[in-house]
Amino acid sequence: MRPYKCDLCNGKLQKGKTEFVAKVGDKVVVIKGIPVYICEECGEAYFMPEISRKIDKIMREFHEGKLLMRPIAAGEIELGI
């Protein structure tokens, strides 16, 4: 079922793409090019159920050490408060 309005601000949703970023221990996993519906007002992204299942499968394979991932450059900064 396609979402039509944002749950946060009632803005209109449009098709788009986003990234999923997760930090697992000292590693960062980035899944790019994910089809989503994005709110035109606040930018909230909505994943369709089949996309969420695919992301879950990728993360499960990551935890099991079954993925071959391309390294990316990343930097980490601590706020120091």
In whole angstroms, give the CA distance from residue 62 to residue 58: 6
Give φ, ψ of 52 to 5 degrees: -60, -40
Q: What is the CATH number of domain 13-63?
A: 3.10.20.860
Element containing residue 77 per DSSP (H, E): none
Quick one: pLDDT at residue 48?
A: 95
In whole angstroms, give the CA distance from residue 74 to residue 23: 12
Quick one: pLDDT at residue 58?
A: 96
pLDDT at 73 over 90: no
Render pLDDT for 8-61 as a digit per residue (tens, 0 to 9).
Answer: 999 999 999 999 999 988 888 999 999 999 999 999 999 999 999 999 999 999
| Mean pLDDT on 56-69 | 93
The domain locations on the chain are 13-63
pLDDT at 1 over 80: no
Quick one: pLDDT at residue 60?
A: 96
Nearest to 69 by CA among 35, 29, 32, 33: 29
